[in-house]
Amino acid sequence: MKINPYIFRGYDLRGEVGKDLNPEIAEHLGKIFGTMLKRRGLNKAVISRDFRATSQEYSQALIKGLNFTGINTIDIGMELIGTFYWAQYFLNIPTGTYITASHNPAEYNGFKFAIGFSETMIEKDMQLLKEMSEKDDFEKAEIPGINEGKSIRKEYFNDLLKRVKFGKKFKIVIDPSNSTAGEIAPELLKKFGYEVIEKNCTLNPSFPLGTIDPTEMKVAKRLSEEVVEAKADIGFSFDADGDRIGIADEKGGIVWNDILVAIFAMAVLKKHPGQTIMYNFLCSKAVEETILKNGGQPFMWRVGHSVLKAKNREVKAAFIGELSGHFFFSADFYNHDDGIYSMLSLLNYLSETGKTLSEIVSLIPKYISSPEIKVGCPDNLKVKLIEKISLKIPQDFPQAKIINKEITDDGIRAEMKNSMFVIRYSQNGPYITVKFEAKEQKKYNELKKYISELLHFYEEIDWSFGVNIEDLG
The whole-number pLDDT of residue 313 equals: 87
Full DSSP string of 255-286: E-HHHHHHHHHHHHHHHSTT-EEEEETTS-HH
- The residue among 107, 102, 84 whose CA lies nearest residue 207 is 107
The whole-number pLDDT of residue 166 equals: 79
The whole-number pLDDT of residue 56 equals: 98
The whole-number pLDDT of residue 444 equals: 97
Check which CATH number belongs to the domain holding 445 and give it: 3.30.310.50
The whole-number pLDDT of residue 106 equals: 95
Over 171-182, what HEC string results? EEEEECCCCHHH
Give percent of the chain with pLDDT exceeding 70. Answer: 100
The whole-number pLDDT of residue 405 equals: 82
The structural domain count of the chain equals 4
**Do 194 and 217 fall into the same domain?**
yes
Is residue 345 among the annotated active site residues?
A: no
**Do 16 and 100 fall into the same domain?**
yes
Strand positions, DSSP E, 17-94: 44-49, 72-78
**Do 345 and 430 fall into the same domain?**
no
User: What predicted TM-score, i.e. pTM, was given to this entire model?
Assistant: 0.92
Category of 304 on φ-ψ map: left (φ > 0), alpha (ψ -120 to 50) or beta: left
Which of 106-115, 236-245, 302-311 shows the lowest mean pLDDT across its residues?
A: 302-311
218, part of any domain? yes
Per-residue pLDDT reduced to its tens digit, 307-331: 888 899 899 999 999 998 899 999 9
Q: Report the alpha-carbon distance of residue 112 to residue 336 in Å, rounded.
A: 13
Q: Report the alpha-carbon distance of residue 262 to residue 256 in Å, rounded.
A: 10
Average pLDDT of the chain?
Answer: 95
Check which CATH number belongs to the domain holding 29 and give it: 3.40.120.10
**Do 383 and 337 fall into the same domain?**
no
158, part of any domain? no
160, part of any domain? no
- C-alpha radius of gyration, the chain, whole number: 22
Please identify, among 232, 254, 276, the residue that sits at the C-terminal boundary of a domain: 254
**Do 403 and 461 fall into the same domain?**
yes
Which DSSP state fits 329? -
Please identify, among 117, 151, 185, the residue that sits at the C-terminal boundary of a domain: 151
Please identify, among 236, 254, 272, the residue that sits at the C-terminal boundary of a domain: 254
Out of 102, 133, 284, 369, pick the active-site residue: 102
**Do 104 and 179 fall into the same domain?**
no
Range(s) of the domain holding residue 414: 368-472
**Do 260 and 350 fall into the same domain?**
yes
Cα atoms in the 13 Å half-sphere on the side-chain side of 343:
31
The whole-number pLDDT of residue 263 equals: 98
159, part of any domain? no
**Do 376 and 405 fall into the same domain?**
yes
**Do 233 and 340 fall into the same domain?**
no
**Do 447 and 436 fall into the same domain?**
yes
Q: Report the alpha-carbon distance of residue 74 to residue 87 in Å, rounded.
A: 10
**Do 79 and 181 fall into the same domain?**
no
The whole-number pLDDT of residue 228 equals: 98
Assess whether pLDDT exceeds 90 at residue 306.
Answer: no
Per-residue pLDDT reduced to its tens digit, 27-77: 999 999 999 999 999 999 999 999 999 999 999 999 999 999 999 999 999
Average pLDDT over residues 175-185: 98
- At 120, the pLDDT band (50, 70, 90 cuts) reads confident
The whole-number pLDDT of residue 305 equals: 77
Full DSSP string of 202-244: S--TT-TTS---TTSHHHHHHHHHHHHHHT-SEEEEE-TTSSB
The whole-number pLDDT of residue 322 equals: 93
